[in-house]
């Protein structure tokens, strides 16, 4: 079984890595689920499909409630 605390210490920013106020410690959350994207083709198709529907309502009033929230993780 993976030791999540060891992985956090190895890969996540630690208190000693910060430089407030311009580089604060990022917020972290418990009990979240992630899905690794090995081949992003399906993911990219779904994003493109969702984006193609934004703002295509019959009038401006309908369109102003359209939005897409996109959050991504990446490691360099």
**Segment 17-66, tens digit of pLDDT:** 888 888 888 877 777 777 777 777 887 888 888 888 888 888 888 888 77
pLDDT reported for residue 47? 81
Domain ranges, residue 39: 4-54
Residue 16 domain flag: yes
Residue 13 domain flag: yes
Residue 68 domain flag: no
Residue 29 domain flag: yes
Residue 59 domain flag: no
Residue among 31, 5, 37 nearest 14 (CA): 5
pLDDT reported for residue 73? 60
Residue 63 domain flag: no
Say which DSSP state 58 is in: S
Instruction: Examine the pLDDT at 12 and tell me if it is beyond 80.
Output: yes
pLDDT reported for residue 64? 82
Q: What total number of domains does the chain contain? A: 1
SS3 of 17, please?
helix
CB 26 within 8 A of CB 13: yes
Residue 33 domain flag: yes
């Amino acid at each position: 079984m993976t030791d999540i605390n060891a992985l956090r210490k190895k890969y996540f920013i630690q208190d000693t890595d910060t430089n407030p106020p311009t580089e604060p410690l990022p917020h972290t959350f418990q009990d979240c689920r992630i899905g690794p994207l090995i081949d992003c083709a399906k993911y990219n198709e779904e994003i493109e499909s969702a984006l193609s529907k934004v703002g295509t309502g019959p009038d401006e009033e309908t369109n102003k409630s359209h939005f897409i929230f996109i959050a991504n993780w990446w490691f360099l």
